[in-house]
């Protein structure tokens, strides 16, 4: 079935916007956080539009969202997101330091028409990080406690659409459900990539989420969704070690210390199979008395950016492509010295049909001044790549099931 046909079967948010009705809205405002502060609020800006629609329709909006994962540095309360949401809504919202307990339920019941209540980080509930089939997720504490208080469920969090978690797939099993506008835009952008069937599609993959990126690269090449892949960031470092080996003892120490060895083996397997389609860095920038470019044979430590020669090589790939999917920065863009590779490639890619994927990628686009030039800015990042690579989206299946069950 074509993606456009699937989209047409999903009720959009207009079917759920009813005055006086309570809407549970699952968004994804998971944002890059440095030293306890949000450094990029793109996702919050995007979802503020959805919340505004609900509020102006006179609905009572209850917001479900997460930030980070338990054990990670960015796992925090959503209270720090509240002022950002209020900034883009230009009005106050409510926040409760509870997810599905008595206080959260009390405040949901007391909501008035047009009010918005932000619940605490749903991943404070251990069940939210466990994936099960939708029917099982409908029986979780979160869904059992909250669903009876709601009239509709709106799924707008594309970045978690590939997760079969309670807040994603549980509610559609028990409530009439709709897709939000952010999610709908994501699906329509996906359909454009699918239509290309790989020809002229370049994936530029970076960042530090090595496991997810390796999986995405394999999916896109295996499914012929991308014609070429260029890797940078920590991912590029791993691919370079896989390609050139341990050219000095310092490099081996860095790989072993970072626990990257299993990733190196996986990257080597991908190079063996798709080597002609995967482009790895040929030089890097390291912090040696400031920024210094070195080749792989001279690399003394994990690099902080791709080098100048790699930028030139990747720009040639961009020039010969029609669609560029940019997911993950090429370096440590929080430091201006090591944002150069990302910025230059972003500017070159902005002359093509550029799709930007998620979090730090968006931050890089803002630094490059090309955010408004992109064909599509995905809130999903890895979710976008995994989906075009053929990975199933449990959220879509759950919404389709809900549409048939409740007849919206």
**Residue 66 annotated as lining a ligand binding site:** yes
**Residue 162 annotated as lining a ligand binding site:** no
- Reading the block at residue 355, the tokens are 């799709």
**Residue 301 annotated as lining a ligand binding site:** no
Contact 327, 349 (CB under 8 A): no
**Residue 360 annotated as lining a ligand binding site:** yes
- Give the number of other CB atoms < 10 A from CB of residue 89: 15
**Residue 359 annotated as lining a ligand binding site:** yes
Contact 29, 45 (CB under 8 A): no
**Residue 67 annotated as lining a ligand binding site:** yes
β pairing state of 37-38 and 94-95 = unpaired
Contact 53, 43 (CB under 8 A): no
**Residue 407 annotated as lining a ligand binding site:** no
**Residue 366 annotated as lining a ligand binding site:** no
**Residue 308 annotated as lining a ligand binding site:** no
Give the span between the Cα atoms of 262 and 281, in whole angstroms: 20
- Reading the block at residue 110, the tokens are 């007391």
Contact 50, 154 (CB under 8 A): yes
| C-alpha distances out from residue 148 to 24, 143, 152, 153, 355, Å | 11, 8, 10, 11, 39
**Residue 115 annotated as lining a ligand binding site:** no
Closest Cα to residue 364, out of 379, 345, 348?
345
**Residue 45 annotated as lining a ligand binding site:** no
Work out whether the CA dihedral 121, 122, 128, 133 comes out positive or negative.
negative
**Residue 106 annotated as lining a ligand binding site:** no
Binding-site residue positions: 28-30, 43, 66-69, 123, 163, 334, 358-361
Binding-site residue positions for (2R)-3-phosphoglycerate: 43, 123, 163
Binding-site residue positions for ATP: 334, 358-361
Binding-site residue positions for substrate: 28-30, 43, 66-69, 123, 163
């Amino acid at each position: 079935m074509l993606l456009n046909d699937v989209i047409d079967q999903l009720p959009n948010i207009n079917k759920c916007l009813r005055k006086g009705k309570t809407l549970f809205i699952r968004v994804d405002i998971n944002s890059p956080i440095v030293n306890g502060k949000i450094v990029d609020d793109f996702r919050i800006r995007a979802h503020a539009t959805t919340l505004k629609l609900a509020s102006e329709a006179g609905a009572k909006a209850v917001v479900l969202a997460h930030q980070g994962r338990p054990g990670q540095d960015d796992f925090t309360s959503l209270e720090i997101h509240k002022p950002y949401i209020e900034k883009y809504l230009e009005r106050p919202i409510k926040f409760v330091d509870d997810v599905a307990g008595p206080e959260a339920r009390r405040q949901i019941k007391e909501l008035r028409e047009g009010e918005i209540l932000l619940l605490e980080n749903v991943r404070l509930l251990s069940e939210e990080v466990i994936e099960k089939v939708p029917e099982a997720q409908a029986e979780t504490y979160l869904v059992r406690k909250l669903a009876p208080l709601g009239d509709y469920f709106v799924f707008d969090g594309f970045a978690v659409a590939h997760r079969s978690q309670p807040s994603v797939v549980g509610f559609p099993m028990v409530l009439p459900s709709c897709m939000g506008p952010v999610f709908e835009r994501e699906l329509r952008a996906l359909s454009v990539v699918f239509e290309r069937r790989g020809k002229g599609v370049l994936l530029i993959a970076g960042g530090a989420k090595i496991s997810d990126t390796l999986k995405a690269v394999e999916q896109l090449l295996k499914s012929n969704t991308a014609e070429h892949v260029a890797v940078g960031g920590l991912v590029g470092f791993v691919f370079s070690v896989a390609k050139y080996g341990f050219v000095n003892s310092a490099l081996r120490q860095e790989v072993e210390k970072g626990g990257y060895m299993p990733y190196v083996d996986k990257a080597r397997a991908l190079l063996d199979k798709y080597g002609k389609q995967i482009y790895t860095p040929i030089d890097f920038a390291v912090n040696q008395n400031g920024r210094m470019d070195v080749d792989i044979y001279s690399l003394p430590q994990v690099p902080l950016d791709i080098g100048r020669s790699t930028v030139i090589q990747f720009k040639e790939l961009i020039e010969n492509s029609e669609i560029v999917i940019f997911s993950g920065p090429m370096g440590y863009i929080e430091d201006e010295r090591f944002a150069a590779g990302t910025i230059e490639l972003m500017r070159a890619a902005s002359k093509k049909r550029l799709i930007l994927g998620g979090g730090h990628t968006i931050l890089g686009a803002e630094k490059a001044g090309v955010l408004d030039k992109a064909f599509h800015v995905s809130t999903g990042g890895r979710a976008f790549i995994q989906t075009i690579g053929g990975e199933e989206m449990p959220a879509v299946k759950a919404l389709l099931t809900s549409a048939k069950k409740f007849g919206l």
